[in-house]
Amino acid sequence: MTPNMTYGSPMPAASVKVAYTGTAGVTAAVSANAVAVRIVATTDCFIEISTAGTAAVANTGLYLPALVPEYFACPPSAKVSAIQVSSGGTIYCTPFS
Express each pLDDT in 45-59 by its tens digit. Answer: 999 999 887 888 888
pTM of the full structure: 0.87
What domains sit in the chain, N to C, each tagged with a CATH number?
12-96 (2.60.120.1030)
Backbone phi, psi, residue 19, to 5°? -85, 150
**Separation in Å, CA 27 to CA 1, 5, 50, 87, 91:** 26, 26, 11, 18, 9
Higher-confidence residue of 93 and 53: namely 93
Beta-carbon count within 10 A of 78 CB: 24
Higher-confidence residue of 11 and 66: namely 66
Judge whether 48 and 80 are in contact, CB under 8 Å: yes
